Amino acid sequence: MRRDLANARMGQLVGADGRTYSLGATRIEPAEVESLIESGCPVVTYFAGGRLVWHDEDDAWPAWADARGAQESVTAGRWESPDGPAAVVLIWSA
C-alpha cells in the first residue's frame, strides 16, 4: 500500500505503521536493500522537495525497481525502529 507521509523530521519519521524510525545507516548496498525488502521491510521514497511516500506489501519491490532504473541519483539508507523493525529509505536527488 502506498501512502504519503507528512509527519517527518530531520533524522526521524513516523511510518504508516505507526512506528517511529530513526536513521541507522546512511548508505547501504543494493544486496542489503533487497534482503531487507525480502524480509518484509517497508520502503520509503524521499523525493526532492520533501515528499515522502510509504510503500509496503507489493509496492516495496516496484519502488526499489524504479530507484534502480532511475537516471537521477538515488541512495538507499536503513532506518530503524526502537522495537526492532527496519525500513529502507530511498533518497532521490534532484
3-state secondary structure the chain: CEEEECCEECCEEECCCCCEEEEEECCCCHHHHHHHHHCCCCEEEEECCCEEEEECHHHHHHHHHHHHCCCCCEEEEEEECCCCCEEEEEEECC
Q: Which residues form the domain of 35?
A: 2-92
Structural domain total, the chain = 1
Question: Per-residue pLDDT averaged across 44-72, rounded?
Answer: 90
pTM given for the model: 0.86
Q: State the pLDDT confidence band at 2, using cuts at 50, 70 and 90.
A: low
Bigger pLDDT: 66 vs 3: 66
pLDDT > 60? residue 7: no
